[in-house]
Amino acid sequence: MFAGDPRNCQRDRRGQGKGDAGRDGPSRRGTRGAPSRGGGSAWGRGDRPGSGVRADRSAGKRRRGGLARRRLVAGSRRGLHGGLIVTEISASLVKELRDLTGAGMMDCKRALQDTNGDLDAAKTLLRERGLASAAKRAGRETTEGKVGYRVADDAKRGVIIAVGCETEPVSNNEEFLAFAVKLLEAVEREGPDAVDQLDEDRQELAAKLGENIVVAGAARFEAVDGAVIDGYSHPPANKLGVLVQVRGGSDEIARKLAMHIAASPATRWIGREDVPEDVVTAEREIYTNSDEVQSKPEQAREKIVEGMLNKRFFAEQVLVDQPWIHETSKSVGEVLGEQGAEVLEFERLQLG
C-alpha cells in the first residue's frame, strides 16, 4: 500500500526499473498486454521620540481611544458600568479543544476567546477558519505525497491512487497516510467516483496540516477473462506507481511491464494504432519542415522523416515500440510476441 504506513502497509521492494521516470504526471491508456499471479500492494507528512516639549492633548486622546478599541477587538467586552471583562480560558479547556481538533494551542485559545469559552462553537470556528485557509492554499504546488496501489490475491482487481502535498514531512505524517489508505479502500470498493465523496475529508486534512492536499489520480481495473492485473510503486519515496492489465504470457510479465512503464515517462499509447492520426500528421510536419530534413536532398526527405518518426516519436511514446528495459536489445513488442502476451490497459501516476 504505502511505505511508512503504520497499519501493516508494506514497502514495495520487489524490484525497480531503470530510473524513476519523468515528469508528465498521470497517464492511462487502454487496449493491449501478460499475467502475474497473486495480490500485492505498495505506497506506492515608528513611533519616534517627540521633537519638542509641547503635546497635543486631543492627539493623546485619539491614541488612548485607539488602544481601548484594540483591547476590545482582542476578545474582551465591557460590563454594565463600563468595566473591562476578559473571558478566562483555562489551559485544560485549550488542551481539550486541541485534542479534539488537532489545531495549534494558540489557534485553540483564540477560538475559545472569540466564542466566550464555548467548546462546540470554538470547534466550528476553527473548522471555518481552517477551510478558508485551505482554500487560499489550493493553488500551491504539490510535488510531494504518495502513490499507492493494491491488487487482489487472485490478480483480478487492482486499484491505484496518488495523493499530493507540499512537503516530504507531511507525506509521511500518520494522518496523511491514513487519508491515503482510506481513499485507496474507497476507490477499491466504489471506483474513482469515491474521490468526490471524500473531498470534505481532504479539505479538513489540508486545514489541519496547513498544506495543500490534492488527489492527483485514481483508477480501478477489473480483469477480463484470461487477464491479470499487477502493479509497481517506485521505492523509497513511493511518488511514482503503475497499474497494468495483461492477458497471456508468463507469471511475471505483468510485474515487469509495470516496472518498464514506471521507467518510461513518455509512454502515452500501447500500440501505434492507438495514436490519433492528427497527432502523427502534426509530428510528421514538424520533422518535414525542420532544418535537419530540409538540408537533405529532396528525394531522400520522406524516408528520413519516417525514420525520425520511428526513432524519436513512436519509440518514445508508444509502449510496444520502446526498448525493453530488462533486455534493451529487444523491444516491448518483441517480448510480448515471444510470450503471446497482450497489454490491455495501464495507469501511470507520478508526483513531482
- Residue 13: inside a domain: no
Mean pLDDT of 14-33: 46
Position with higher pLDDT, 145 vs 119: 145
Position with higher pLDDT, 315 vs 3: 315
Check residue 132 and give its pLDDT: 52
Q: Do residues 175 and 247 share a domain?
A: yes
The set of cell numbers assigned to 32 is 493491449
Percent of the chain exceeding pLDDT 70 equals: 70
Q: Do residues 108 and 166 share a domain?
A: no
**pLDDT classification of 182: cutoffs 50, 70, 90:** very high
Residue range of the domain that includes 112: 91-139
Check residue 286 and give its pLDDT: 95
**pLDDT classification of 146: cutoffs 50, 70, 90:** very high
Distances (CA, A) of 137 to 34, 75, 141, 171, 201: 43, 27, 9, 16, 16
- Mean pLDDT of the residues in the chain: 80
Alpha helices (H) along the chain: 57-73, 91-101, 105-114, 119-137, 168-171, 174-190, 194-197, 199-209, 253-262, 277-288, 291-294, 298-308, 315-317, 332-339
Check residue 108 and give its pLDDT: 81
**pLDDT classification of 87: cutoffs 50, 70, 90:** low
pTM value is 0.68
pLDDT tens per residue across span 58-72: 444 333 344 333 332
- Residue 151: inside a domain: yes
Check residue 105 and give its pLDDT: 76
How many domains does the chain fold into? 2
Check residue 46 and give its pLDDT: 38
Q: Do residues 129 and 219 share a domain?
A: no
**pLDDT classification of 135: cutoffs 50, 70, 90:** low
CATH number where 269 lies: 3.30.479.20
- Nearest-10 crossing angle of helices 277-288, 298-308: 130
- Residue 52: inside a domain: no
Q: Do residues 120 and 268 share a domain?
A: no
Q: Do residues 123 and 227 share a domain?
A: no
Q: Do residues 209 and 267 share a domain?
A: yes
pLDDT tens per residue across span 204-253: 899 888 899 999 999 999 999 999 999 999 999 999 999 999 999 999 99
Q: Do residues 102 and 198 share a domain?
A: no
- Residue 46: inside a domain: no
Q: Do residues 149 and 122 share a domain?
A: no
Q: Do residues 103 and 167 share a domain?
A: no
- Residue 22: inside a domain: no
Check residue 12 and give its pLDDT: 47
Q: Do residues 227 and 343 share a domain?
A: yes
Position with higher pLDDT, 247 vs 91: 247
Check residue 19 and give its pLDDT: 43
pLDDT of 179 over the 80 cut: yes
Check residue 107 and give its pLDDT: 77
- Write out the DSSP string of 248-267: SS-TBHHHHHHHHHHT-TT-
